A and B are shown apart, each in its own frame.
Chain A
Amino acid sequence: MFYREAGQFKTSYDKDQAVFPIMQDRWFIVAVILAAYFVVPFVADEYWLQAVIIPFLILALAAIGLNILTGYAGQVSLGTGAFMAIGAYACYKLTTNIPDLNIVVAFLISGLMAAAVGIVFGIPSLRIKGFYLAVATLAAQFFVLWLFNKVGWFYNDNPSGTITAPPRELFGVTITGPRATAEARYFVSLTFLVIGAVVAKNLVRGRLGRSWMAIRDMDIAAEIIGIRPLQTKLMAFAVSSFYCGVAGALYIFCWLGSAETEAFDLLQVSFPVLFMIIIGGLGSIIGSIMGAAFITVMPIFLTNFPPMIGIHMATDLQKHIEEIIFGGMIVFFLIAEPHGFARLWQIGKEKLRRWPFPY
């Protein structure tokens, strides 16, 4: 009833090609972003921001990065953790060695560093495909973490082998380090996610995005119609790693504050980010965000729900049951909708269009 595009006429190609051609969509997105900026920080307490929302925002950024590589360009990667680690360590080196560097610039340079390494590890993708490539990206994952663990230069030779985010300011507000408020860190992460999502959305519907999709759907055919696989694939690796690198820097600077390489472990980062894009929907920006929300929020919800309704179990038993439910839900979702939340979102909009008179 409310979601109708009747009466919205497009009078130019530009309008026809808009990201959100339907007015209601536009408003909805604007409302969500406004709410994220002006409502959430006043409603959520520190627990919500620190334990749920900030990690969700940062991982969503990483998920967008991986989705560009896997969902759009079709190159499965399990090396997300490594690229995030590169971003984090690069940012640590930059901020500690050049104390006057603007922190946002440091984040962006860290992303570029990750992109450079991403290109190197993307080279095998020209020859190796599918699961073979996925397992091959594990070489990046293990090698990079080993390197950061082994070579003292990366963590300024401190004996504890960990990196700690030094305090930095932006517009006079401390946004990193222990004294930064959760709200400040929330705004920074949110801004990065919003800008990242907008850029990604525009990237994937442009020429580059189309050539990525052509490569994904059939690389030989794409080559024949004149898309150069080398540049296209490496570009996908570069852009994806850039996103992951920035996300990695945020992960340490705006969330954990201090960590060792273990924080970027395969099972702690690489796999969960992959889950996010599969559950969210391959080849969808909004899907990445929804997937990230599901994977970060669901376990926390499952932990806190039983005590809330008065069920108190032994800690370990509850955790096991939680795991079983979580695993079961993944399988259930895949059976119900293999294309993830993005597809559900689409179906939802279709239904809404016909509501309340479905046929």
Chain B
Amino acid sequence: MKFRSLLLGALGAVVCVTGVAVSKAAYSAEQFIPMLVYRTGPYAPSGIPVANGFRDYYTLVNKRDGGINGVKIVFEECETKYNTKQGVECYEKLKNKGPTGASLVNPYSTGITYQLIPKSAVDGVPILSMGYGRTSAADGRVFKWVFNFPATYWSQASAFVKYVGRQEGGMANLKGKKIVHLYHNSAYGKEANPTLETLAKKYGFKLTLIAVDHPGQEQKAQWLQIRRKKPHWIFMSGWGVMNQVAIKEAAGINYPMDHFVGNWWSGSDADVVPAGAGSKGYKSATFHGAGAGWGVHEDIVKHIYGGDAAKAQENKMGEVLYNRGMVNAMFGVEAIRTAMKKYGNKSMTGAQVRWGLENLNVNEARLSELGMKGFTQPVKVSCSDHETSGPVMFQQWDGSKWSFASIWVPPMRDVVRPMIEKDAANYAKENKITPRKC
């Protein structure tokens, strides 16, 4: 009896599985954007605000403007749990949806980004990995389909060094200073190392690299080393629980928090909460504002939450990573808009959106129209430059909110760009890609 019911259950399951088919309904004047999100799993505290930011911005464009030039944005979430395997499944499921397939993909995970980079050209789906993923994708001659503006990890690290130089009263004063790079021991965490090493040689500061293994709940050994080294500055490339523990440990050894600077994945609201008052003064890099004081937030409250600001806050509005998702969505939407200028107001294909991304020009005037003046910096992408080396801002946690702690710091393009071109050339050689002429 037991066996029979099992068998029937199994049969039923098989029938249902075979029934799963990707339906391609014929919509018109709709623009499909896939959303790979992680609202569950170990990185959910970061994934939830990002996903909400995306969702709210797309909804806002639909409700406030009636879509992009009248073309409605359709989006679908797919949960990846920050897991590469599930990311593959999500991407495959969503890439052909909508009338013209996925317009662009924002992977929001290093592993998924790397996995998608070789495929993007074949599938014709451009990747917008905004400030993460493969740094050398900034070389548009080799990576035609990948965009990582407004700045890469390497640019960010160089901006950090420049910022430290300014704080110390001039780049000359960097000589002999001790700087620690505390990094997540993964492809992502190691990204900034070569840049920092190059700059250490150039400016004569002493760089110590300290790795923290995944997931990073236990960092006593690392902080003992730091306590002994007494570095003048700490730069952190952390992710997930590692950030929270590091900030707590830093407070524990009474490290001056205003000399502890995270990269832009180490500076969200969730990162500073567990350390409580200890995290006051902690800084992090960013390329957009925090908080909900901009015009676009007012629009979101008005059009999506019916004027209920408290409800919007509950949905993470104004958190650093919410704003990041929103900025990311904005760039995607503007790229589609740019593409429409050339190809007409209809559903754009991936290739057309790619053109839009490459010719994207969001200037001050456009930012003010969008209610984002001062919130983020203008971006102008070109064929060879998919990064744009946008300036980096350093924000500081004052115990209850993040606020800008510097002026916008431009990265050292003269140092970073040659490194990017070298790595891109290697990649092209290994994978038999002929760089295009720009």
Please tell me whether chains A and B touch each other in their complex, using a CB distance cut-off of 8 A. yes
- Residue on A with the closest CB to B154? A159
Q: What B residues does A303 contact at CB under 8 A? A: 79, 89
Asked if A308 and B19 make an inter-chain contact with CB atoms under 8 angstroms apart, the answer reads yes
User: For the complex, is A153 an interface residue (Cβ under 8 Å from B)?
Assistant: no
Q: What A residues does B115 contact at CB under 8 A? A: 256-259
User: For the complex, is A320 an interface residue (Cβ under 8 Å from B)?
Assistant: yes
Cα–Cα, bound, A266→B259 (Å): 36
A160-B187, A262-B84, A263-B84 known; A351+B118 contact, CB < 8 A: no
Q: Which of A313-344 contact B (CB under 8 A)?
A: 314-316, 318-320, 323, 336-337, 344
A159-B135, A160-B134, A166-B431 known; A257+B2 contact, CB < 8 A: no
Q: What A residues does B349 contact at CB under 8 A? A: none
Contacts across chains A and B counted by CB atoms under 8 Å: 147
- Residue on A with the closest CB to B10? A344
Expressed in whole angstroms, the minimum distance between the Cβ of B78 and any Cβ of chain A is: 7
Asked if B186 and A47 make an inter-chain contact with CB atoms under 8 angstroms apart, the answer reads no
Q: Which of B10-41 contact A (CB under 8 A)?
A: 13, 16-17, 19-20, 22, 37, 39-40
User: For the complex, is B243 an interface residue (Cβ under 8 Å from A)?
Assistant: no
A interface residues, how many (CB within 8 angstroms): 57
User: For the complex, is A50 an interface residue (Cβ under 8 Å from B)?
Assistant: yes
Asked if A159 and B423 make an inter-chain contact with CB atoms under 8 angstroms apart, the answer reads yes
A159-B191, A344-B6 known; A318+B186 contact, CB < 8 A: no
A159-B191, A300-B89, A315-B77 known; A260+B111 contact, CB < 8 A: yes
Asked if A51 and B186 make an inter-chain contact with CB atoms under 8 angstroms apart, the answer reads no
Q: Which of A287-327 contact B (CB under 8 A)?
A: 297-301, 303-305, 308, 314-316, 318-320, 323
Asked if A262 and B111 make an inter-chain contact with CB atoms under 8 angstroms apart, the answer reads yes
Q: What A residues does B84 contact at CB under 8 A? A: 256, 259, 262-263, 268
Q: Which of A121-178 contact B (CB under 8 A)?
A: 146, 149-150, 156, 158-162, 164-167, 177-178
User: For the complex, is A179 an interface residue (Cβ under 8 Å from B)?
Assistant: yes
User: For the complex, is B92 an interface residue (Cβ under 8 Å from A)?
Assistant: yes
Expressed in whole angstroms, the minimum distance between the Cβ of A89 and any Cβ of chain B is: 13
Fill in one digit per residue for B78-116: 1 if any A CB lies within 8 Å of its CB, else 0. 110101111011001100100000000000001100110
User: For the complex, is B64 an interface residue (Cβ under 8 Å from A)?
Assistant: no
A260-B111, A262-B84 known; A319+B22 contact, CB < 8 A: no
Cα–Cα, bound, A150→B185 (Å): 8
User: For the complex, is B408 an interface residue (Cβ under 8 Å from A)?
Assistant: no
Cα–Cα, bound, A197→B187 (Å): 35
Asked if B430 and A166 make an inter-chain contact with CB atoms under 8 angstroms apart, the answer reads yes
Residue of B89, B121, B194 with most partner-chain A CB within 10 A: B89
Cα–Cα, bound, A209→B366 (Å): 71
Expressed in whole angstroms, the minimum distance between the Cβ of A293 and any Cβ of chain B is: 10
User: For the complex, is B119 an interface residue (Cβ under 8 Å from A)?
Assistant: yes
Asked if B118 and A257 make an inter-chain contact with CB atoms under 8 angstroms apart, the answer reads yes
Instruction: Return the contact of A316 from the options B39, B89, B135 (Cβ within 8 A).
Output: B39
User: For the complex, is B437 an interface residue (Cβ under 8 Å from A)?
Assistant: no
Instruction: Return the contact of A51 from the options B39, B93, B114 (Cβ within 8 A).
Output: B93
- Residue on B with the closest CB to A351? B3
Q: What B residues does A308 contact at CB under 8 A? A: 16, 19-20
Expressed in whole angstroms, the minimum distance between the Cβ of B120 and any Cβ of chain A is: 8
- Residue on B with the closest CB to A155? B187
Instruction: Return the contact of A319 from the options B81, B92, B119 (Cβ within 8 A).
Output: B81
Asked if B136 and A318 make an inter-chain contact with CB atoms under 8 angstroms apart, the answer reads no
A55-B85, A257-B115, A301-B13 known; A318+B79 contact, CB < 8 A: yes
Asked if B431 and A177 make an inter-chain contact with CB atoms under 8 angstroms apart, the answer reads yes
Q: What B residues does A262 contact at CB under 8 A? A: 84, 110-111, 186-187, 214
Expressed in whole angstroms, the minimum distance between the Cβ of A264 and any Cβ of chain B is: 10
Expressed in whole angstroms, the minimum distance between the Cβ of B50 and any Cβ of chain A is: 13
Q: Which of A260-290 contact B (CB under 8 A)?
A: 260-263, 265, 268
User: For the complex, is B308 an interface residue (Cβ under 8 Å from A)?
Assistant: no
Cα–Cα, bound, A159→B6 (Å): 51
Q: What B residues does A299 contact at CB under 8 A? A: 86
- Residue on B with the closest CB to A181? B122
A149-B185, A308-B19 known; A315+B93 contact, CB < 8 A: no
User: For the complex, is A46 an interface residue (Cβ under 8 Å from B)?
Assistant: yes
User: For the complex, is A102 an interface residue (Cβ under 8 Å from B)?
Assistant: no
User: For the complex, is A96 an interface residue (Cβ under 8 Å from B)?
Assistant: yes
Q: What A residues does B81 contact at CB under 8 A? A: 319
Cα–Cα, bound, A165→B119 (Å): 12
User: For the complex, is A348 an interface residue (Cβ under 8 Å from B)?
Assistant: yes
User: For the complex, is A45 an interface residue (Cβ under 8 Å from B)?
Assistant: yes
A51-B88, A258-B118, A315-B39 known; A161+B93 contact, CB < 8 A: no
Q: What A residues does B213 contact at CB under 8 A? A: 146
Instruction: Return the contact of B118 from the options A45, A178, A318 (Cβ within 8 A).
Output: A178
- Residue on A with the closest CB to B78? A315
Cα–Cα, bound, A256→B6 (Å): 34
User: For the complex, is A347 an interface residue (Cβ under 8 Å from B)?
Assistant: yes
Expressed in whole angstroms, the minimum distance between the Cβ of B5 and any Cβ of chain A is: 9
Expressed in whole angstroms, the minimum distance between the Cβ of A315 and any Cβ of chain B is: 4
User: For the complex, is B190 an interface residue (Cβ under 8 Å from A)?
Assistant: yes
Q: Pull 10 A–B residue pairs with CB atoms less than 8 Å apart, ordered by A.
A: A55-B88, A160-B191, A165-B118, A268-B84, A301-B16, A301-B17, A315-B77, A319-B39, A336-B2, A348-B7
B interface vs A, CB < 8 Å?
2-3, 6-7, 13, 16-17, 19-20, 22, 37, 39-40, 44, 48, 51, 77-79, 81, 83-86, 88-89, 92-93, 96, 110-111, 114-115, 117-119, 121-122, 134-136, 185-187, 190-191, 194, 213-214, 419, 423, 426-427, 430-432
* Other contacts beyond A45-B22, A161-B190: 7, CB < 8 A: A50-B88, A159-B190, A164-B430, A257-B118, A262-B84, A262-B110, A316-B79
In the complex, the 6 A-B pairs of residues with the closest C-beta atoms, listed nearest first: A316-B39, A178-B118, A161-B187, A260-B187, A51-B89, A51-B92
